[in-house]
Copies of this chain bind each other. A is one copy, B any other.
Amino acid sequence: MASDTYTRILDTAQALIVTRGYNAFSYADISAVVGVGKATIHHHFPGKADLAVAVIARYRQATEDGMGAMAAHEPRADKRLAGYVGFWEQCIRDNNAPFCIAALLAAELPSLPPEVAEQVKAHFDELIARLTGFIDEGLKKGELTSAEDAERSARILVATVHGAMLAARVAGGDAELYASITEPALRRLTG
């Protein structure tokens, strides 16, 4: 039973990590935003690494849920991939979570506590596995075309999406730029 404060700490931590990364956010920052003492944060999450792990674990779950829902409700592989790519375009446009936490933390990976790094790696594995599944299915059903095998296509797509996020961030949160980079990558699969 996640309490309200618990969830708000998690939300705030997630937002802070998305904009600043792991090393540049502090308990004091969260304390100020949530309006609760620093000790309270330690009560829910003993250490900073615990907090970060909880954030990514929840993020992984949300991703899995989203992917699962897509697998259940959207039969066409091309539309599934468009859904994944388009999801981030919308995030950048709305500026609510304009970056993939795991991608950001991946950049900082060598300076991350081991538990946190493991979560990041796990997210990448899951994401690649999901998309590989979608692409594999799409290739077999003829909804997608690719010169490469499914896994490699998935890795290329994810890399392009992450690189496009970076480009959009440098351009001040330019969702159009993100779209103009990812659209050809998507079209290369959907034909």
Copies of this protein, total: 2
Question: Shortest beta-carbon distance, A117 to chain B, in Å?
Answer: 9
Q: Decide if B23 touches A21 in the complex (CB within 8 Å).
A: yes
- A163-184 Cβ-contact flags toward B at 8 Å (1 or 0): 1101101100000010011001
Nearest-Cβ distance from residue A85 to partner chain B, whole angstroms: 12
- The reply to whether A120 and B152 form a contact with Cβ atoms under 8 Å apart is no
Q: How many residues of A contact B (CB 8 A)?
A: 39
Q: Would A110 and B167 be within 8 Å (CB), given that A156-B160, A159-B160 are in contact?
A: no
A interface with B by C-beta (< 8 Å):
19-21, 23-24, 99, 103-104, 106-111, 120-121, 124, 147-148, 152, 155-156, 158-164, 166-167, 169-170, 177, 180-181, 184-185, 188
A-B contact pairs, 28 of them (CB 8 A): A20-B108, A20-B110, A21-B21, A21-B107, A21-B111, A23-B23, A23-B24, A99-B107, A103-B107, A103-B166, A106-B169, A107-B107, A107-B108, A107-B169, A148-B184, A152-B181, A155-B177, A155-B180, A156-B181, A159-B160, A159-B163, A160-B160, A160-B163, A160-B185, A161-B163, A162-B162, A162-B166, A188-B188
Task: Give 19 new A-B contacts, CB below 8 A, not counting A159-B163, A160-B160.
Answer: A21-B107, A99-B107, A103-B166, A104-B107, A104-B108, A107-B108, A107-B169, A120-B170, A124-B167, A124-B170, A152-B181, A156-B181, A159-B159, A159-B166, A159-B181, A161-B163, A162-B162, A163-B163, A163-B166
